[in-house]
């Protein structure tokens, strides 16, 4: 026996023993479904919105947005006729539909737009909308190219329009709780964040269904391409755009960005200073030009490291989450809960003396006990396990839209503005840059510039 500390007591108590099994879980519910009850709004006080880019996320966003009291949809723009037709099926024949989002921006009866286009259109649509006097809910990743960020920030500043970026977890009660716990010292000093997003399905790997009527008649190919390289019509590019760099931003822009938004919101950091990433196309060799496995490592100026991984070839359960590792425990965000497991470092350093002579062991032990009397040999009361869970049916997307529309009314700052959005997406896209260059890349998160 050469150890004299509490950690050893836990080990001795059984190989599988953890703070949780020893002390029992402490469960807390976070919110009664939504964090604030809906208040009715008079019809003449409705915020009138339009959707630009009515695919999977655009339609999903709009359904949630319309659950917020006092919000009315009046128009939809999309490049595929089938989605304009389905928008009428969903929201009625009265809504105005068009392929040209410019027609929507020209309307005086629209206060705000949801931008659900592919990434390569985010900047242009958002900037055009703000210049036309509309507030903007822009899907993540905010940028496709680094030059997009300053332009969007500057336009928001000049036009004084509200812009909220769509990493909805930033409005989640779970993330708010995690932020509060970290700030309160629940896990001590933060040393490391590890986050993962594992998928194991064809749809998870972006092989979205191409509709049977896809053609140059039903798809406005030039409008879809925008500033992307001019190539002949290609239905896979149109409907599975995430698989090509010309329109999407790979797993970094699609998924890392959510993990960055979460990390930045919870820690209050503005972003990493140094990044390196690797990965490859391991499984989905279907003509795509972006990896399906990516690993990224990031240095944060606050003194912690972030490690991210996305893979689309998991062979197991689909899974996403973040683990914050501190000097006194870990905090994990998984599903709709945040879990803190505390096991603070012992104040006494412990002994490793078994290889010394018996006489030396005795002498050291005596001296040690004099310096560090074992007043709490069975463990101090700081050990613990707490789980905070959102109520069943809780929706962070709803809260994100509720926050957005509250700012549209009050003109007060949103929770995820263009600066936040650029810092998250700019950090995420460092991974692509590092992979392309085969090198470590540097970023100034305050100035939001590549170094």
**For residues 191 and 313, is the Cβ–Cβ distance under 8 A?**
no
The answer to the question of residue 416 lying near ligand NAD (CB under 6 A) is no
- The residue nearest ligand NAD at its CB is 55
The answer to the question of residue 72 lying near ligand NAD (CB under 6 A) is no
3-state secondary structure of 166: coil
List residues bridging with 301 in a β-sheet.
none
The answer to the question of residue 119 lying near ligand NAD (CB under 6 A) is yes
The answer to the question of residue 140 lying near ligand NAD (CB under 6 A) is yes
Q: State the DSSP H helix or E strand holding residue 64, giving kind and residue range, or none if neither.
A: helix 56-65
The answer to the question of residue 224 lying near ligand NAD (CB under 6 A) is yes
Could you tell me how many residues of this chain bind ligand NAD (CB under 6 A)?
27
The two three-digit tokens of residue 276, written as one number: 């390196």
154: Cβ–Cβ under 8 A, 6 or more apart, which residues? none
Least gap, CB of 226 to ligand NAD (angstroms): 6
Least gap, CB of 21 to ligand NAD (angstroms): 35
The residue behind tokens 């986050």 is 195
The answer to the question of residue 304 lying near ligand NAD (CB under 6 A) is no
The two three-digit tokens of residue 122, written as one number: 């985010």
248: Cβ–Cβ under 8 A, 6 or more apart, which residues? 118, 119, 120, 144, 241, 242, 254, 290
The two three-digit tokens of residue 302, written as one number: 């606050």
Q: How far apart are the first and last CA of the chain?
A: 53
Q: Which of residues 74-113 bind ligand NAD (CB under 6 A)?
A: 77-80, 83, 101
d(CA 434, CA 419): 22
Least gap, CB of 28 to ligand NAD (angstroms): 26
Of the candidates 14, 56, 287, 377, which one interacts with ligand NAD according to CB under 6 A?
56
Quick note: the x/- pattern for ligand NAD over 154-193, rule CB under 6 A, is ------------x-x-------------------------
Of the candidates 2, 86, 223, 387, which one interacts with ligand NAD according to CB under 6 A?
223
Q: What is the Cα Rg of the chain in Å? A: 26
With respect to ligand NAD, which residue has the nearer C-beta, 118 or 291?
Answer: 118
The residue behind tokens 């399906």 is 292
Least gap, CB of 397 to ligand NAD (angstroms): 8
With respect to ligand NAD, which residue has the nearer C-beta, 256 or 300?
Answer: 256
Least gap, CB of 174 to ligand NAD (angstroms): 15
3-state secondary structure of 137: strand
With respect to ligand NAD, which residue has the nearer C-beta, 114 or 193?
Answer: 114
Judging by beta carbons within 10 Å of its beta carbon (0-12, 13-18, 19+), is residue 235 exposed, middle or buried?
A: middle
d(CA 7, CA 3): 9
With respect to ligand NAD, which residue has the nearer C-beta, 117 or 431?
Answer: 117
Concatenated DSSP letters for 351-369?
Answer: ---TTS-HHHHHHHHHHHH
The answer to the question of residue 117 lying near ligand NAD (CB under 6 A) is yes
Quick note: the x/- pattern for ligand NAD over 23-52, rule CB under 6 A, is -----------------------------x
Tell me which DSSP letter residue 2 carries: -
The answer to the question of residue 395 lying near ligand NAD (CB under 6 A) is no
Measured over all CA atoms, what is the biggest interatomic distance in the chain, rounded to whole angstroms?
92
Of the candidates 4, 54, 181, 310, which one interacts with ligand NAD according to CB under 6 A?
54
The answer to the question of residue 262 lying near ligand NAD (CB under 6 A) is no
Interface positions with ligand NAD (CB under 6 A): 52-58, 77-80, 83, 101, 116-119, 121, 139-140, 166, 168, 223-224, 226, 241, 254
């Amino acid at each position: 026996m050469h150890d004299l500390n509490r950690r050893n007591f836990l080990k001795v108590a059984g190989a599988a023993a953890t703070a949780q099994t020893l002390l029992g879980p402490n469960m807390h519910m976070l919110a009664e479904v939504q964090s604030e009850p809906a208040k009715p709004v008079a019809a003449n006080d409705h915020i009138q919105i339009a959707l630009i880019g009515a695919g999977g996320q655009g339609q999903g966003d709009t359904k949630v947005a319309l659950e917020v009291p006092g919000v009315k949809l009046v128009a939809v723009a999309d490049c595929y006729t089938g989605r304009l037709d389905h928008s009428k099926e969903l929201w009625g024949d009265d809504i105005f539909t068009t392929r040209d989002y410019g027609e929507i921006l020209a309307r005086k009866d629209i206060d705000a737009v949801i931008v659900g286009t592919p990434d390569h259109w985010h900047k242009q649509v958002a900037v055009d909308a703000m210049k036309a006097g509309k507030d903007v809910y822009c899907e993540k990743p905010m940028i496709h190219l680094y030059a997009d960020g300053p332009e969007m920030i500057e336009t928001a500043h000049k036009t004084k329009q509200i812009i909220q970026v769509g990493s909805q977890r930033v409005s989640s009660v779970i993330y708010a709780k995690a932020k509060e716990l970290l700030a309160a010292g629940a896990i001590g000093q933060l040393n490391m964040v590890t986050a993962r997003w594992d998928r194991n399905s064809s749809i998870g790997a972006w092989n979205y269904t191409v509709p049977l009527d896809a053609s140059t008649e039903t798809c406005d190919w030039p409008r879809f391409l925008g500033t992307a390289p001019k190539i002949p019509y290609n239905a896979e590019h149109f409907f599975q755009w995430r698989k090509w760099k010309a329109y999407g931003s790979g797993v970094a822009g699609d998924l890392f960005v959510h993990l960055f938004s979460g990390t930045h919101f919870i820690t209050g950091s503005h972003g990493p200073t140094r990044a390196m990433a690797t990965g490859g196309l391991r499984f989905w060799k279907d003509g795509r030009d972006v990896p399906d496995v990516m690993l990224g490592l990031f240095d944060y100026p606050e003194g912690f490291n972030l490690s991210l991984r996305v893979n689309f070839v998991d062979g197991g359960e689909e899974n996403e989450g973040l683990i914050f590792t501190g000097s006194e425990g870990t905090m994990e965000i998984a599903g709709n809960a945040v879990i803190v497991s505390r096991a603070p470092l012992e104040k006494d350093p412990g002994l490793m003396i078994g290889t010394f002579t018996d006489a030396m062991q005795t002498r050291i032990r005596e001296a040690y006990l004099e310096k560090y009397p074992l007043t709490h040999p069975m463990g101090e009361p700081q050990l613990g396990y707490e789980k905070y869970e959102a109520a069943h049916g809780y929706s962070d997307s709803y809260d994100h839209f509720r926050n957005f529309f509250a700012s549209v009314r009050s003109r007060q700052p949103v929770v995820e503005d263009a600066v936040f959005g650029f810092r998250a997406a700019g950090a995420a896209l460092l991974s692509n840059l590092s992979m392309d260059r085969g090198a470590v890349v540097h970023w100034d998160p305050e100035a939001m510039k590549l170094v």
